[in-house]
């Protein structure tokens, strides 16, 4: 039931082609085997993720510069993938919510929970857009 709820949350974001990578092998594939930039969204079913991060991502994805791929893992539900993600973020604790822009398995930028929880969705969207402008190509 929990997985169905999470899949429904992903599907309600019409502008986002987000893939849930709930196992460590799928997360590895998303990070290492995909061409272009990957936005890794460490998500959760409630709290700051639902109130701030998901609406902010939806807003930011309307911008012309966007990542080539978006992968999400749900902290607290996708436990294996969340623990495995730590190897990609050695200097940052994996927190929910957070956004990480990567290319070829290399972290380019991180927007972590501490920068998300104190502001509203439009402000987080603006921070994401800055990341997208710096690291992603135009899709418009």
Q: How far apart are CA 94 and CA 42, in angstroms?
A: 8
User: Is the predicted pLDDT of residue 13 greater than 60, yes or no?
Assistant: no
For residues 31 and 116, which has the higher predicted lDDT (pLDDT)? 116
Per-residue confidence (pLDDT) for residue 77, from 0 to 100:
81
Per-residue confidence (pLDDT) for residue 115, from 0 to 100:
92
- HSE-up of residue 71 (Cα within 13 Å, Cβ side): 28
Q: How far apart are CA 22 and CA 3, in angstroms?
A: 10
Per-residue confidence (pLDDT) for residue 1, from 0 to 100:
41
Per-residue confidence (pLDDT) for residue 124, from 0 to 100:
97
List all residues 6 or more positions away from 23 whose beta carbon is below 8 Å from its beta carbon.
Answer: 78, 80, 81
Q: Count helices and strands (H / E) in the chain.
A: 7, 7
Token pair 């929990």 in the structure block, residue: 2
User: Is the predicted pLDDT of residue 9 greater than 70, yes or no?
Assistant: no
pLDDT tens by residue, 78-137: 888 888 888 888 777 778 899 999 998 889 999 999 999 989 999 999 999 999 999 998
In the three-class reduction of DSSP (H, G, I as helix; E, B as strand; rest coil), residue 36 is classed as coil
Per-residue confidence (pLDDT) for residue 64, from 0 to 100:
92
**Percent of the chain surpassing pLDDT 90:** 34
**What residues make up the domain containing 90?**
2-138
Residue 133's CATH number: 3.40.30.10
Q: What is the number of domains present in the chain?
A: 1
Q: What is the mean predicted confidence (pLDDT) over 35-51?
A: 82
Average pLDDT, the chain: 82
pLDDT class of 10 with cuts at 50, 70, 90: low
């Amino acid at each position: 039931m929990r997985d169905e709820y999470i899949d429904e949350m992903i599907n309600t974001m019409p502008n986002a082609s987000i893939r849930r990578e709930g196992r460590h092998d799928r997360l590895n594939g998303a990070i290492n085997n995909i061409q272009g930039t990957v936005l890794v969204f460490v998500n959760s079913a409630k709290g700051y993720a639902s109130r701030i991060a998901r609406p902010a991502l939806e807003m930011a994805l309307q911008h012309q510069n966007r990542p080539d791929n978006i992968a999400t893992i749900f902290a607290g539900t996708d436990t294996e993938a969340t623990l495995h993600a730590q190897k990609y973020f050695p200097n940052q604790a994996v927190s929910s919510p957070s956004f990480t822009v990567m290319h070829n398995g290399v972290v380019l930028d991180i927007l972590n929970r501490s920068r998300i929880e104190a502001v509203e969705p439009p402000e987080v969207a603006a921070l994401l857009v800055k990341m997208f402008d710096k690291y992603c190509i135009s899709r418009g």
